[in-house]
Structure 1
Amino acid sequence: MYQRLRNLREDRDLNQAAVAEILHVSQTTYSRYESGVLDVPSASLIALARYYGTSVDYLLGLTDNPTPYHK
Structure 2
Amino acid sequence: MICCNSSTGEMFSFTKFISVIILSYMPDYSFVDYSCILIHMMNEIGVTRIFQRVETLRRANRLTQTTLGQVLGVSQATMSKKLRGEIPFSACEVQSCARHFRVSTDYLYGLTDDPAPVLNGEVVCQ
Runs of 4+ in 1 over 2 A off after TM superposition: none
**Higher alpha-carbon Rg:** 2
Query: TM-score under structure 2 normalisation?
Result: 0.54
Q: Deviations over 1:1-53 (max 9, x none)?
A: 22211110000111100000011111111111111101100000000000000
Which structure has the highest helix share of the two?
A: 1
- State the percentage of identical aligned residues: 35
Match for 1:43 among 92, 97, 104?
A: 92
Match for 1:55 among 80, 101, 104?
A: 104
Q: Which residue of 2 aligns with 1:9?
A: 58
Gapped runs of 5+ residues in structure 1?
none
Gapped runs of 5+ residues in structure 2?
1-48, 121-126
Match for 1:28 among 68, 77, 91?
A: 77
- CA distance in 1: counterparts of 2:94 and 2:116, whole angstroms: 15
Which structure has the highest strand share of the two?
A: 2
Q: Which fold has the larger relative contact order, with Cα–Cα distance below 8 Å and residues 6 or more apart in sequence?
A: 1
Which residue identity does 2:96 align to in structure 1?
A
